[in-house]
Amino acid sequence: MYGRKVKLRFFFVLLILVTLALSVFLLIKSLEENVIFFKSPTEIKTLSEIGKKKIRIGGMVKKDSITIISKEIKFIVTDFKNEINVVYSGVVPNLFAEEKGVVAEGYLKDKNFFLATKILAKHDENYMPPEVKAALEEK
Amino acid sequence: MFKYFEPNKIFAITSKAPKYVLFLFIVILSIGLTEALILSPEDYKQSHSVRIMYVHVPAAWISLGIFSAITFLSVIGYIFKIRNFFLIAKSLAPSGLVFNIIALVTGSIWGKPTWGTWWAWDARITSMLILALFYIMYLVAWRIFEDEDNDKVFKVTSIITILGIINVPIIKYSVDWWNTLHQPASINILSKSSIHISMLFPLLTMTAAFALFSLLIFLMKYNTELIKIKNKGLDRL
């Protein structure tokens, strides 16, 4: 139906695409460590050694865990399996709240204690007006 | 059918259509902006910052959509040697780049009050930046090779789109595959969306408005391409 050249060009494009997809897949797979933006508390627990490098941890701020002592803010990051205590001094973003997502950047002192130098609030995918939220909570 | 199209017939359409598209764009944009900025409710958590989303998300969708379209046209154009497809792809690219940049900038403006940072090197944001670089590469390639021979520019731009298309599924699924600062998708075709209907409506209206804008810019760019062909004294491609 189509000429030989057309078929050849089709396979050429297909070959490029498959090769590229595979190479990119392998590349990203081997770089996974750097592609992820933060580690969960469970991943921290499984670390074999604690590095001195700056890392990011993320999860939910545990309910009733935020305590503020003068300039210092302490809270617990949880992924509902494991927890890490975080200490931070500075300004937190507006969306930082209990039972909401958080990403903390800083240094791991030990597997249960994290000294944060920067706090980012993680927003989830839920968008709704305040009235709907209130109605949901009543249920 | 596509191979021997007549520029004159298409030119009659592309030179008249823009004013109607412009009118429709202004109407839809006015409705969309009224909904997005005035009528839609504020978010329970991020309050008025949510309104940035009505520009950010449609812009990101359109830029991804246009890149996919460019790739499709270039590949089909390359395999079947349809020159017209390359001109369509070329005319689509500028609005794709503009919306890509709008998505990055509005995301940054939204990120500061909500996340607490302008920029983060997370998978979604970085891959979106890479897409912008591919758009720039594509447009620059046209600029460089356009005046030389046609076959060269068609080949180079096709290769750029094929390289860039690998990035598109990575952008889409980056938020599911890895831990990212960027939130996962709120709108799912197969399952229930996690965005309230009162916010979904302005979002879709704005998407329609942006799509019309892209169409408008496309028609104007394509029209210019046809004029160039006419000036060369060719009545078919």
Q: What pLDDT is attached to residue B206?
A: 96
Beta-strand runs (E) in A48-100: 55-61, 67-69, 72-78, 83-89
pLDDT grade, residue B137 (50/70/90)? very high
Q: Do B79 and A6 touch (CB under 8 A)?
A: yes
Highest mean pLDDT among A85-99, B40-54, B97-111, B114-128: B97-111
Residue A63 pLDDT exceeds 90: no
What is the token pair recorded at A7? 């078929």
Tell which residue, B223, B186, B175, B210, has the closest CA to residue B100: B210
pLDDT grade, residue B1 (50/70/90)? very low
| Chain B residues lying within 8 Å of A124, measured CB to CB | 183
Residue B52 pLDDT exceeds 90: yes
Find the angle CA(B212)-CA(B217)-CA(B219) to the nearest 5 degrees. Answer: 90
Q: What pLDDT is attached to residue B46?
A: 81
Residue A98 pLDDT exceeds 90: no
pLDDT grade, residue A52 (50/70/90)? confident
Tell which residue, B218, B223, B235, has the closest CA to residue B62: B218
Cβ contacts below 8 Å, chain A against chain B, sum to 119
Q: What pLDDT is attached to residue A31?
A: 85
Q: Residue B179 is nearest to which of A6, A28, A58, comparing CB atoms?
A: A58
Q: Do A95 and B114 touch (CB under 8 A)?
A: yes
Tell which residue, B104, B204, B122, has the closest CA to residue B170: B122
Nearest chain A alpha carbon to B76: A10
- When pLDDT is averaged across residues B95-107 and rounded to a whole number, the result is 96
Model's pTM, two decimal places?
0.89
Q: How many CB atoms lie within 10 A of CB B233?
A: 6
DSSP code of B40? S
B48/B40 Cα distance (integer angstroms): 10
pLDDT tens-digit series, residues B102-133: 999 999 999 988 888 899 898 999 999 999 99
| Chain A residues lying within 8 Å of B44, measured CB to CB | 128-130, 132-134
By DSSP bridging, strand A83-89 and strand A67-69 are unpaired
- When pLDDT is averaged across residues B125-145 and rounded to a whole number, the result is 94
B208/B218 Cα distance (integer angstroms): 15
What is the token pair recorded at B28? 């839809």
- When pLDDT is averaged across residues B183-212 and rounded to a whole number, the result is 88
Q: What pLDDT is attached to residue A97?
A: 85
